[in-house]
Structure 1
C-alpha cells in the first residue's frame, strides 16, 4: 500500500475499500453487534480522514486499527459508566424521588455523559480506567505505556474539565 496523499479523495477511497472489511472483522470479533461494529469502523475512517495529514502515510493501516480499537474501548467504557451511574443513582434515590428530582437527575446524567464525551481521548481513557474500572495510576501507566506523571496530568485535566462542565449541578 503506497499512498502519495491519503488526503486525496481517490487515494482515501482506495484505502477505504482495501481496509474496511479487515477492520470490520477486527472490531466484530470484539463487539458481536454488527451495527455497533459498523458504526465504530465508520467513525474510525472519519477520524483517519479528518487527520489524514497528521500521521505517517506508511502507518495508515496501523493507525486505522489503533483508532478503531480505541473507539471500541471508549464505547464500552462509556456504556459501563452509564450503567454504573444508572445503577448507583437509581438505588440512592428510590424512596425520595420527586418529579423535580427525577428531572434534575436526568439532566445531570445527560450533562455528565456529554462532559465525558467532550474529554480528549487520552483524558477520557485515563478517567474511565481509574474511576470506572478502578485501576491505579501505576496500572494505567503500564497499560497505556506512558509515565505516571502523564497519567496524573491527564486525570487532572479530565477532572477539571468535568467539574467545569457540570458545575451548575452542585
Structure 2
C-alpha cells in the first residue's frame, strides 16, 4: 500500500522518538536532547522549551513504544484511540513552507507532545485500516532493540536507521563467508 507523505513522515518520526532510548542512555535526558531531536524532526507551532514539555514528550515516547509491543490489532486500536483522545486531535488541512496541502491534527499552539501524539496516532490509523501492522518491527540486529516501520514495497527492511546495524550485519556475514 502507498501511504501519504505526511503519514510516512509521522511514522518515521514516531519510530525515531521511540528510538531515543538507547543502551548508552536516554537521548532525551535533557532539553538539549529534545532540541537536537527537533532539528531532525521539526514541528511547526508552539515550542515551550521547558521541563514540563520534555517530560510530556518522553511520556508520548513511552506510549508510542507500546504500539510496537502490542500483541494484537485490537490492542493497538485501544492505544491509538487513547492517544487521539488525550491529544485533543482536531484534524484540518494546512499548507506551509515547502509542504503542499497535508493534514494537521492539532492547533499549532497546542502543546508539542499533543501534536506529536496526534500526528503519530493518525499515522497508525492508516496502518490499522490497511491491516498493515506487520510493518511495525524491531531491528533484526541481535544487539539492537530499536523499532522501525518497514514502508518498503517488498517489505524487506530489517534494520533500524539509528545506527549502522544493517551495515554491521552485512559485513559480519561477508566475513563469515570469506572465512569458510
TM-score w.r.t. length of structure 1? 0.24
Higher strand content, 1 or 2: 2
TM-score by length of structure 2 reads 0.23
Q: Which has the higher helix share?
A: 1
The structure with more radius of gyration:
1
